[in-house]
Chains A and B, each alone.
Chain A
Amino acid sequence: AQSVAQPEDQVNVAEGNPLTVKCTYSVSGNPYLFWYVQYPNRGLQFLLKYITGDNLVKGSYGFEAEFNKSQTSFHLKKPSALVSDSALYFCAVRDMNSGYSTLTFGKGTMLLVSP
């Protein structure tokens, strides 16, 4: 079975400050890891993914995430937050070694960036 944990319901940060949204995962094989963002009453927008290769993955809107195999983490980061980054962020995992399997999502973390 695969699972994702996002330990924070909400993250508050001031505009211009760096932000981190935490994610840890559990899979039996090797993971595909994803971050999505959701704005109110909208579907999910893809931010970035880790499949293989460099542990630091760069994505859309200046976001990046670092894959840490030993800590089974895939935290989302941005050096300087914008008010427009305020949204709901989901981490997701898929076990690449299990053949066909669906994405499992974390419960989401609300990011609030204050002016």
Chain B
Amino acid sequence: GAVVSQHPSRVICKSGTSVKIECRSLDFQATTMFWYRQFPKQSLMLMATSNEGSKATYEQGVEKDKFLINHASLTLSTLTVTSAHPEDSSFYICSAHTGELAGENNEQFFGPGTRLTVL
């Protein structure tokens, strides 16, 4: 099956620094990638939809200037948490889509997640 990787798997940073998380589709091309945030023992909350070659679409309440998303190629999307603060500590998960988004064969494959801890 399709594989999605994330790097790094775990990162600890100081408050005020920026952190970049990479999401790659390893064996398929993904025109759309999604970024989720998950708090302990809670569900995944969609942060933004990342389309290759265009600006990301952010969900309501997500600061686009704080969570910068770049989708420069069909296999790579990055999420940069700028000026991170302790409240940004969370588990960030990306997913990549195969097939037509509205099609029956639409599949969404998830990365293993990145644990961000801001001190």
A residues contacting B by CB (< 8 A) are: 32, 36, 41-46, 51-52, 88, 90, 94, 96, 99-103, 105-108, 110
Contact = CB atoms under 8 A, between A and B. Distances in A.
Given A43-B6, A44-B93, A108 B113 contact: no
A43 B93 contact: yes
Contact of A46 (B34, B41, B109): B109
**Residue of B1, B44, B108 with most partner-chain A CB within 10 A:** B44
Contacts of B46: 102-103
Determine chain B's interface SS by DSSP, over half rule: strand
Interface residues of B, number: 24
B69 to A, nearest CB: 15
Contacts of B108: 103
Given A43-B112, A102-B46, A102-B49, A32 B106 contact: yes
B91 interface: yes
Contacts, number: 49
Given A51-B104, A105-B44, A108-B42, A43 B111 contact: yes
B41 A108 contact: yes
Contact of A36 (B1, B106, B110): B110
Nearest to A104: B46
Across the A-B interface, the 6 shortest Cβ-Cβ residue pairs: A44-B110, A43-B110, A43-B112, A107-B43, A43-B113, A100-B101
Interface string B63-96: 0000000000000000000000000000101010
B110 A105 contact: no
Given A100-B101, A102-B49, A90 B113 contact: no
Contacts of A94: 106
A107 B42 contact: yes
